[in-house]
Amino acid sequence: MKLATMFQAGLPYLVLTGGLLVVMIGVAIKRTHAVAAVLTIATLIATTLSHIVAYSALGDGAVQIDSMFKIDGIAYLFNILFLLAALVVAFLGSEFLNRRIRFKEEFYLLLLCATLGSLVLPAAVHFASLILGLEIVGISLYAMIAYPEKARPPLEAGLKYLVLSGVGSTALLFGMAMIYAGSGSMEFANSLPSDGSMEGQYFYLIGNAFFWSGIAFKLSLVPFHIWTPDVYHGAPSIVTGFLATVSKGAVFAVVFRYAIEGNVLDSGNVQFALSVIACISMVIGNLLALLQTNLKRLLAYSSIAHMGYLLIALLVVESNSALGYETVILYLVGYFLMTLAAFGVVSVLSMNQEQELETIDSIGGLLWRQPIAGAVLIVSAISLAGIPLTIGFFAKYYLFYAGIDGGMWTLIGALVVGSAIGIYYYLRIVFTAIKRPLDDAEAMTGLPWTGLGILVVLGLCILALGIYPTNLIDLIQNVVQASGF
């Protein structure tokens, strides 16, 4: 592989790293919130645009950089998704910082760092690059969660996330060590034990048990989900939005790569374990969400269920990897839009208050008190429930299709049961927001226009892609095919 090609394919990474350094030096020279925010947003946009230049370097499918990274169209698609999500977070975050936080500039550094880590993951094909990307995201997130350092809930959430995510990482590392002991290679593509000895097989299986427990920690799948509601609740809403979308999506991207390159799902045991985790995540996540009165905790449990749904796409790659990739990308696009919209609404509404908006009752009559935010919240709840005319419907439709294609009837059953339970509590959000407000409930005014504007864009995307998804689906299919699946 020519060096020039590698540099061209790696251009987005170079641009983002360069921008990160510029912001860092800029903050060191002079603290100006506006400059830091503008530089960050410019960096994110420039990185997104640099994918156009970089894409022509791919040529016949993929560019391999040493044994660590394999950059292909799918990785770029994931990257653009993460960058756009980070852009939304940067816009909403700037308003949040402006009104609530004293030291604002470091937030942008952490955000760019976390984004860089999430860009590393979709291209990783080696255990070392996997753990590198994962920890760049993780360590930046610890600090982002605890960013409002004066308040108590974010601190508690940050520490809890740090300890439990650390446990997840160590389980992952231990699994990698055992897989390496069994197979003799840390590249995904050679990670199956080659010599066929009994010993190698044992190492491989136990290693995978550790590995997938670590991944389940990171994706907050049942039974490794205990940290999720606390962390989602305690973190500032906009950081929760980032945590729920980009960090989860990036882990999914790398897990797909591992499953396809490493043929992990050939092992019946791994497949069975993942199916069980998927089933209980879908059912238990939705059941626990029923009991919640706190909006952020409710969304946390709903994200557990959504991660369970997404495992169906992972399990289908064994028989049909192209379909698996199409499903996961489409679902993630939908999930990103609706989750960012939901947490964005909570974040925008909380900006003028001392405490974050918490209970579901506090959004009573939101549609009348703050029509824009109310409408966006309703659209995103409807989309999360998977009701037609929203992107959530097509995402779920694709999951059904993938499940049927793979003949996974138990999982489809769990998906149906989970979605049915889900509709109940998503509609509770909708009804609470629609019902006439009490007389003493005041209208919410003085909310930032940029924040509301971003929310409107997110809401319109949910509807537009739900009514006319053809272009998006075509794009995804073309890229997946061009990447050689």
- Write the DSSP string, 401-446: HHHHHTT-HHHHHHHHHHHHHHHHHHHHHHHHHHSPPPTTPPP---
The yes or no reply on residue 177 touching other proteins (CB under 8 A) is yes
Cα separations in angstroms, 429 against 233, 244, 359, 448, 453: 17, 19, 11, 23, 22
**Interface residue with other proteins, options 49, 156, 412, 437 (CB under 8 A):** 156
Cα separations in angstroms, 27 against 39, 89, 182, 201: 10, 19, 47, 52
Residues 68-107: x/- map of binding to other proteins (CB under 8 A)?
A: ----------------------------------------
- Write the DSSP string, 207-247: HHHHHHHHHHHHHT-TTS-THHHHHHHHS-HHHHHHIIIII
Of 75-83, 287-295, 385-393, 450-458, the window that binds other proteins (rule: CB under 8 A) is 287-295
- Nearest distance from C-beta of residue 68 to other proteins, angstroms: 12
- Nearest distance from C-beta of residue 356 to other proteins, angstroms: 11
Tokens 């009490």 locate to 438
- Nearest distance from C-beta of residue 456 to other proteins, angstroms: 31
Q: Which is nearer to other proteins, 296 or 396 (CB)?
A: 296
Tokens of 422: 């889900």
- Nearest distance from C-beta of residue 155 to other proteins, angstroms: 5
Tokens of 458: 């997110």
**Interface residue with other proteins, options 20, 101, 121, 157 (CB under 8 A):** 157
| C-alpha 384 chain-centroid distance | 15
The yes or no reply on residue 476 touching other proteins (CB under 8 A) is no
Tokens of 43: 């960096």
**Interface residue with other proteins, options 19, 73, 122, 158 (CB under 8 A):** 158
**Interface residue with other proteins, options 27, 173, 244, 379 (CB under 8 A):** 173
Burial class (CB in 10 A: 0-12, 13-18, 19+), 209: middle
**Interface residue with other proteins, options 42, 52, 128, 404 (CB under 8 A):** 128
Q: CA Rg, the chain, in Å?
A: 22
**Interface residue with other proteins, options 208, 292, 419, 432 (CB under 8 A):** 292
Count of other CB atoms within 10 angstroms of residue 388? 12
User: Helices 106-123 and 248-261, interaxial angle, to 10°?
Assistant: 20
Kindly state the helix (H) or strand (E) to which residue 334 belongs, with its residue range: helix 321-350
Kindly state the helix (H) or strand (E) to which residue 64 belongs, with its residue range: strand 62-65
**Interface residue with other proteins, options 13, 107, 108, 127 (CB under 8 A):** 127
- DSSP code at position 190: G
Q: How far apart are CA 162 and CA 160, in angstroms?
A: 5
Q: How far apart are CA 278 and CA 236, in angstroms?
A: 28
Q: Which is nearer to other proteins, 347 or 370 (CB)?
A: 347
The yes or no reply on residue 294 touching other proteins (CB under 8 A) is yes
**Interface residue with other proteins, options 81, 116, 178, 341 (CB under 8 A):** 178
Count of other CB atoms within 10 angstroms of residue 150? 9
Q: Which is nearer to other proteins, 234 or 334 (CB)?
A: 234
Q: Which is nearer to other proteins, 359 or 450 (CB)?
A: 359
- Nearest distance from C-beta of residue 231 to other proteins, angstroms: 8
Q: Total binding residues for other proteins by CB under 8 A?
A: 44
**Interface residue with other proteins, options 181, 322, 417, 441 (CB under 8 A):** 181
248 touches 353 (CB < 8 A): no
**Interface residue with other proteins, options 51, 100, 225, 233 (CB under 8 A):** 233
The yes or no reply on residue 176 touching other proteins (CB under 8 A) is yes
The yes or no reply on residue 160 touching other proteins (CB under 8 A) is yes
Q: How far apart are CA 222 and CA 216, in angstroms?
A: 8
**Interface residue with other proteins, options 9, 121, 162, 278 (CB under 8 A):** 162
β partners of residue 63: 71
Of 160-168, 269-277, 411-419, 426-434, the window that binds other proteins (rule: CB under 8 A) is 160-168
Q: Which is nearer to other proteins, 104 or 396 (CB)?
A: 104
The yes or no reply on residue 166 touching other proteins (CB under 8 A) is yes
Return the residues of window 129-148 that contact other proteins according to CB under 8 A. Answer: 131-132, 135, 139, 142-143, 146
Provide the binding-site residues for other proteins, judged by CB under 8 A.
Answer: 127-128, 131-132, 135, 139, 142-143, 146, 149-150, 152-153, 155-160, 162-163, 166-167, 169-170, 173-174, 176-178, 180-181, 184, 186, 195, 203, 229-230, 233-234, 292-294, 297
